[in-house]
Amino acid sequence: MAPPATQSAVVGTGATRLPGAVGSGSGPQSSLERFFATSAGRVGARLLLIALILLAWEYAPVARATRFWMSSPSAILGTLWDWLFDGTIWAHLESTLLVMSEGYVVGCVAGVGIGFLLGFFSRLSRVLAPLLAGFYALPKIALAPLFVILLGVDNSSKIALVAVTVFFLVLTSTIDGVREVDRNTVNALALMGATRTEIIRKVLIWAALPWIFTGMRLAVRYAFTTTLLAELIAANRGLGFLIELNSGNFNTTGAYAAIVVVIICSVLLTELLSRLESRMSHWVS
């Protein structure tokens, strides 16, 4: 549903850059080309593009009904501004982050713990493997209504859902990590006289760590998505609930504002993760 003005604006930016790229080589166009090649230039170009889209969105000559559906940046910004100062946004953000992190921590701890257990006792894991595979394949969101009945509409049902989602991701990567350990390394330690406990402590746990980190990193995004979905389905607080509430009231501006908050959250989350990752992976080849 992009308004026509937006399209022409995008094409417009492309048009100003094209002659430079073709290389007519003269004056302002080629210096513009050079400017876009620098990192400051790229950021500038990006901001310019966003500004153009926002302007087009704000001033597009559209019918009143269309304007109602698409809202406008200034209205969204206004809503965000109000939410920021009347505390609305903080309450919902807090709820979402709380549900997500509590579910995440519970899921990770259980997943790593039980994963190690199943990894160390391979007979046990062979018995349980088909059951786990079945649960792993199940989209956990299907359990949401059930958790609501069992645990109520408040946070505990959503925490449980997030925990279950995270649990299976971390569980499988932990089991894989323990199982993929190099047999020769374990043998080498056994020949040195290492006990089973020592082999677990000195080899298996360490060898599984990169796998566990991979699972945990993946699980962060799943935890966020699951939290939002759970809040969309049944909740009385949280960002998902905020989107659902405003959409239900036909307050499109409010829904867009909540989505903006979600986008900001996911960008920050991604950034945080990639920083953590680059710090952790110094010995993970």
Partner 1 sequence: MNDLTPARAVAADAGTPAAKIRLLCAEKTFQVRGQDIEALHPTDLDIRPHEFMALVGPSGCGKSTILNMMAGLMRPTAGEVLYDGQPVTGPNRRVGYMTQKDTLLPWRTTKDNIRIALELKSHATPRAEAEDRVRQMIELVGLKGFENHTPAELSGGMRKRAAMARTLIYEPETLLMDEPFGALDSQLKLLMLDQLQCLTQHRRMSVVFVTHDLGEAITLSDRIVVLSARPGRIRAIHDVKLERPRDVFKVRFTPAFSEQHERLWDELKDDIIKGTDV
What is the binding site for partner 1 (CB under 8 A)? 182, 184-185, 187-195, 198, 202-203, 206, 209, 283, 285
State in angstroms the smallest separation of the CB of 196 from partner 1: 11
Please, which residue, 204 or 229, has the CB nearer to partner 1? Answer: 204
Query: Of 264, 171, 179, which Cα lies nearest the Cα of 219?
Result: 171
Q: Please count the helices (runs of H) and the strands (runs of E) in the chain.
A: 14, 0
Q: What is the largest CA-CA distance in the chain?
A: 81
What's the closest the beta carbon of residue 280 comes to partner 1, in angstroms? 11
Nearer to partner 1 by Cβ, of 174 and 246: the residue is 174
**Closest CB to partner 1 among residues 195, 236:** 195
Per-position b or e across 122-145, b if 16+ CB within 10 A of its CB: eeebeeeeeebeeeeeeebeebbe
How far apart are alpha carbons 263 and 261 in whole angstroms? 5
Report yes or no: 211 and 151 within 8 Å, Cβ to Cβ: no
- Closest distance between partner 1 and the C-beta of residue 244, in Å? 46
**Between 110 and 190, whose beta carbon lies closer to partner 1?**
190
In one-letter notation, the amino acid at residue 51 is A
d(CA 55, CA 48): 10
Q: Identify which of residues 15 and 284 has a Cβ nearer to partner 1 in the complex.
A: 284
Nearest to partner 1 of 190, 269 (CB atom): 190
Instruction: State the DSSP code for 62.
Output: -
For residue 212, the minimal CB distance to partner 1 (Å) is 13
Question: CB 191 → partner 1: shortest distance, Å?
Answer: 5
Report the residue number, 75 or 194, with the smaller CB distance to partner 1.
194
Rounded to a whole number of angstroms, the minimum distance from the CB of residue 208 to partner 1 is: 11
Give the separation between CA 222 and CA 162, rounded to whole angstroms. Answer: 8
Rounded CA-CA distance 122/118 in Å is 6
DSSP three-state, residue 194: coil
Q: Residue 144 and residue 226: Cα distance in Å, rounded? A: 10
Q: Please state the closest distance from residue 1 (CB atom) to partner 1, in A.
A: 52
